[in-house]
Structures are given as structure tokens and as C-alpha cells.
């Protein structure tokens, strides 16, 4: 999925002539500590930070009189994964989307990003999730997929968490089209795979946002 598919053109950016008071109100509503600022020609000038705004004594001061931060942006042709990485690495709820000439095309919000990730991984669809722990030398999806399909199950999504300081192995979460994944889990165990968790459709429906955040971590953010 590309940024163009979740581009929001309804949210107005801040402009250089806008006062500090408007910027603070807007950024509070958007739950972000930085927001894009454009000039009269719709060209992006940079981003204003909440830290800069709260230090201004006169809230009628125009943004054009304040220092702007370096722009954090995405292109409309970028993939959702890169957009997610940018958004969470900079802790932003809103990212500007610009073209090659520095024109603002719109914005992407965290809400749309999470919803899009959920669609990509079929989080809200009927099914279940199994989680497999794999040593680094054993990491391969080919055999796992073969075993699952042999049990006549369909894979709706796969998310991989890479080894880290806290985690010494690969953790692979697989969404299946089955409400009960016990047959698939049993087959995987017969081939020596370690199943660390199983979750059925009923409990998943109540944990959509938590599962979306897990998927974001699986993207190595």
C-alpha cells in the first residue's frame, strides 16, 4: 500500500501568517509536537515545534517570525512501511506529503496508518494468530508455509520480529483463516517448531489496536 491511498487532503496546514495561538490549538487537536508550515504559494517552509511555540510570550506572533525545524515528510509514492517508520521514529501523529517541487499534497495521520496496517495484515478479519519462535540459523518461511497449507489453512498475513537485545530469536506471527488453529499448531510442533502463543478470533476482536502496535514493532521501528 502506498501513501497516495491514505492521503488526507481535508486537514489544513499552518501558514506563515498564522499566529502562535492558532498553531498551539491546532497541534493540540492533532496530538502532535510538530506540524507543517507552508507559504502563500503552497510551498512547504518547514515544521513548527510545540517547544518553540510555548516559549513565545505574545501568542499573536506570526509563525513567519519564528525559527522552523527541518521538514520530516513522505512522498505519495512511498510504501506504508516507510511511512510508518518515519512517523514513529520521529514520534509524529501527522506527516506532510510533498511532491518533487516542495508543494504540499496533503497529510497522513497515525489513525489512517494503523487502519491501513490492519487492512494489510487482515487484523480485523475472521481467523486466528499463531506465533512461532525460531533460532536465527533456522529462520525460513518456506517450510512453515508448506506445513500450514498442507493442513488446508490459508495465510492472511505474516509479521516478523527480528532478534534484538531483548529477543535472541525470530518471532513470526501468522494470521490464519481458521477460528481454531490447533490442527496447524500440532502439525508445526510435529516438525519441531516452537509455538509460543495462539490467539483465536474472539479475543482478537477486542485487541485490534494492541495488535496493530505489535505489527509496527515487527517492522523494526
Sequence spans of domains, the chain = 3-113, 121-218
Question: What architecture (CATH level 2) is domain 121-218?
Answer: 2-Layer Sandwich (3.30)
Asked if the domains 3-113 and 121-218 are classified in one and the same CATH topology, the answer is no
Superfamily of domain 3-113: CBS-domain (3.10.580.10)
Q: What is the pLDDT of residues 89-103, one digit of tens each?
A: 888 889 999 999 999
pLDDT of 208 reads 47
Interval 19-68: pLDDT, tens = 999 999 999 998 899 999 999 999 999 999 999 999 999 999 999 999 99
Q: 172: which residues sit within 8 A by CB, 6+ positions away?
A: 131, 132, 133, 134, 141, 144, 158, 159, 160, 161
Looking at residue 124, what is its pLDDT? 66
Percent of residues, the chain, with pLDDT higher than 90: 52
Amino acid at each position: 500500500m502506498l501513501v497516495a491511498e491514505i492521503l488526507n487532503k481535508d486537514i489544513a496546514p499552518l501558514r506563515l501568517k498564522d499566529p502562535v495561538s492558532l498553531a498551539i490549538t491546532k497541534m493540540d487537536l492533532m496530538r502532535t509536537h510538530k506540524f507543517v508550515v507552508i507559504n502563500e504559494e503552497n510551498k512547504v517552509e518547514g515544521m513548527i515545534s510545540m517547544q518553540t511555540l510555548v516559549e513565545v510570550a505574545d501568542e499573536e506572533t506570526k509563525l513567519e517570525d519564528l525559527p522552523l525545524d527541518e521538514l520530516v515528510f513522505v512522498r505519495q509514492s512511498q510504501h506504508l512501511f516507510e511511512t510508518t517508520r518515519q512517523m514513529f521514529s520521529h514520534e509524529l501523529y501527522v506527516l506532510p506529503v510533498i511532491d518533487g517541487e516542495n508543494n504540499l499534497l496533503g497529510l497522513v495521520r497515525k489513525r489512517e496508518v494503523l487502519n491501513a496496517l490492519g487492512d494489510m495484515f487482515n487484523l480485523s478479519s475472521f481467523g486466528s494468530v499463531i506465533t512461532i519462535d525460531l533460532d536465527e540459523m533456522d529462520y525460513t518461511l518456506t517450510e512453515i508455509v508448506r506445513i500450514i497449507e498442507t493442513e488446508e489453512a490459508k495465510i492472511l498475513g505474516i509479521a516478523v520480529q527480528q532478534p534484538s537485545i531483548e529477543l535472541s530469536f525470530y518471532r513470526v506471527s501468522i494470521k490464519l483463516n481458521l477460528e481454531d488453529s490447533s490442527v496447524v499448531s500440532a502439525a508445526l510442533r510435529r516438525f519441531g517448531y516452537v509455538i509460543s502463543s495462539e490467539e483465536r478470533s474472539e479475543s482478537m476482536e477486542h485487541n485490534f489496536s494492541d495488535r496493530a502496535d505489535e505489527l509496527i514493532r515487527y517492522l523494526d521501528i
